[in-house]
A and B are shown apart, each in its own frame.
Chain A
């Protein structure tokens, strides 16, 4: 699950109801946070050594259609849910810590557009392996 920031709500309204060009990026940066963003943006991104956002090119190949996890064709489902088609890894083994990861955000550059809470928070200690997510683990629901 995730919820939209004001900037994304405005973009959806302008694109679909007002026939304006979208400000959406071609590549999303999926960030992990130690404090939730808000609807106006913000939040505290993970800052431990070797952390890095995951860049995901917006495409049929990288995000599933709503019909099923792992699908790569145009959406035809009813649940309004998409998820990552490939495994994700944020940076490399932590070079500092501790930090407790609690949230994520889909960012346009560094600006959160939608965000949500991790199913389970994770504390990263110095030397811990990089956080990973298997394919299908990061879901986005538009409903």
Chain B
């Protein structure tokens, strides 16, 4: 594997951060994170729309909603269960991805195994078997990430 951090994504994040004081004049530094989360929310939605969600995972999402409610806090961000699974497994944003695997897939005329969109390089376009195992663990309530996922019912 050749870990590669997409320079376009790095540039995107740097530009977003640099624009914060201009876009939000008077904003206090402690509120920067809220602006960052708003910007990420749009990218999460766009990426999920591009993903293939198989019927078994649709069932999982409905089961999670029945058991825990429709939303969960993933670190600082309140989101649906598919976004939460992505964040838990692949991080909140920018990650190194396997550039060799992407190049091989492109050369073979196949779909790349992960997103090459600069906004979300590295996030997968389909959930893997390992992701499904993790999803099942969450539904069962086992191996719950105490820090990463917080049920909203426990916050009120």
A123 B33 Cβ-Cβ under 8 A: yes
- B91 contacts which of A1, A3, A43, A110 (Cβ < 8 Å)? A43
A 43-78 binary contact with B (CB < 8 Å = 1; else 0):
110010000000000000000000000000000000
How many residues on chain A are close to B (CB under 8 Å)? 29
User: What 7 pairs between A and B have smallest CB-CB spacing?
Assistant: A42-B95, A35-B92, A42-B91, A123-B29, A38-B91, A44-B94, A38-B90
Total A-B pairs, Cβ < 8 A: 89
- Stretch from A14-22, A79-87, A99-107 contacting the other chain: A99-107
User: Whole-angstrom distance between the alpha carbons of A69 and B30 in the complex?
Assistant: 30
Q: Decide if B65 is an interface residue (CB 8 Å cutoff).
A: no
Interface of B is mostly: helix
Given A3-B145, A38-B91, A123-B29, residue A44 in contact with residue B17 (CB < 8 A): no
How many residues on chain B are close to A (CB under 8 Å)? 33
The residue of chain A having its C-beta at the shortest distance from the C-beta of B31 within the complex is: A123
Q: Which of B10, B30, B33, B92 has the most CB of A within 10 A?
A: B92
CB neighbours (8 Å) of A38 from chain B are: 86-92, 95
B14 A47 Cβ-Cβ under 8 A: yes
B94 A42 Cβ-Cβ under 8 A: yes
